[in-house]
Amino acid sequence: MQPSADSLQAGNYIGALMQWRDMQTEYDAFFSVVDLHALTAPQDPAELREKTRRTAAQYIAAGIEPSRSTLYVQSHVRAHAELAWILSTITGFGEAGRMTQFKDKSQKQGADNASVGLFTYPVLMAADILLYQTDVVPVGDDQKQHVELTRDLAERFNARFGETFRVPQPVIPRETARIYDLQNPTSKMSKSAESHAGVLWLLDEVDVTAKKIMRAVTDNDGVVAYDRENKPGVSNLMTIHAALTGRTIAQIEDEFAGRGYGDFKKAVRDVVVAEFGPVRERALELLDDPAELDRVLAANAAKAEAVADATLADVYDRVGLLRRAV
């Protein structure tokens, strides 16, 4: 994830971090705070550094274990930028231009304000993936197209220069991962929302989180039933409850039949506070000792570098770049 806010939000936690935490038991996992990607939007340098630490601290607090997985800052491994350049030379202008995220963001920013970095964002993402000979990539629907481009580039490079990259498979999390704004439940919960009243931040104080949930938009019929089209507000709260408790939507509907939204909101509040409270506490502990956090990130960057540099050396040999004499 990009370090583009002071805190991650519930959608990041449920849609990504919970999935990543579980994947650690099955895979040799690499997780990155993608600060180079964040530069596609204007950043204050001091704030970017602080947000990078805060994002890494929340990864760890949410259960990403640096001793078990490799958790690093993207810019700490220079091979990302170097491989991105090589991959850009085999990427068609047309295929890069067809990426829907670029189209959407460039339309919002205006053609004259959209940067080349935004245009080549998917190529850097491909480098992020291919450097580590990745088998599977957990992604949301909005990133699946980028992983398809990554697969195309890997296959193209392999066909042209010989077998070099593993071709990764995208893994899309279950539907319960999509979390919506509490005040505007037809829009995805996002750090860029006009109002933060409907955004559950991991680092919000407990009473702030509780108030946001109790004030969440629902509807007038008072029936706790899942219906995304006609009851988006209560359906969103049910999704959050189900994701954090492991219960099914049907079980939640049975439990709260005839009880109304007041009781249900209190239950959601209690579940969210119980889940996010310890994450907030642990993240703040980590941020209280930035030198130790930086040490952990540096050690993990060295682990990532060992893998990435080996891949990059192979790539350089295959494309014909002259090795520097020792």
Tell me the C-alpha distance between 140 and 16, whole Å: 8
192 marked among binding-site residues: yes
Q: How far is CA 231 from CA 99, 252, 301, in A?
A: 32, 15, 45
Active-site residue, selected from the candidate residues 105, 212, 231, 265: 105
Which residues is 136 bridged to in the sheet? 169
128 marked among binding-site residues: yes
11 marked among binding-site residues: yes
Cβ–Cβ < 8 Å for 224, 261: yes
303 marked among binding-site residues: no
Give the pair of three-digit tokens for residue 155.
């296959």
211 marked among binding-site residues: no
Which residues is 31 bridged to in the sheet? 71
69 marked among binding-site residues: no
Residues 6+ apart with CB under 8 A from 165: 130, 133, 154, 157, 158, 311
Active-site residue, selected from the candidate residues 51, 103, 108, 191: 191
Clarify whether 231 is annotated catalytic. Answer: no
Q: What are phi and psi of 134, to 5 degrees?
A: -75, 135
Strand (E) or helix (H) holding 71: strand 70-73
266 marked among binding-site residues: no
140 marked among binding-site residues: yes
2 marked among binding-site residues: yes
Clarify whether 188 is annotated catalytic. Answer: yes
Dihedral sign, CA of 225, 19, 118, 163?
Answer: negative
12 marked among binding-site residues: yes
Question: Cα torsion at 118, 119, 124, 125 (round to 10°)?
Answer: 80
28 marked among binding-site residues: no
| Position 250, amino acid | A
Active-site residue, selected from the candidate residues 188, 211, 266, 303: 188
Extract the annotated binding site: 2-4, 11-12, 128, 140-142, 179, 188-192
Could you list the residues known to form a binding site for ATP, using ranges.
2-4, 11-12, 140-142, 179, 188-192
Residue ranges for the known binding site for L-tryptophan are: 128
Return the active site residues.
Answer: 105, 188, 191
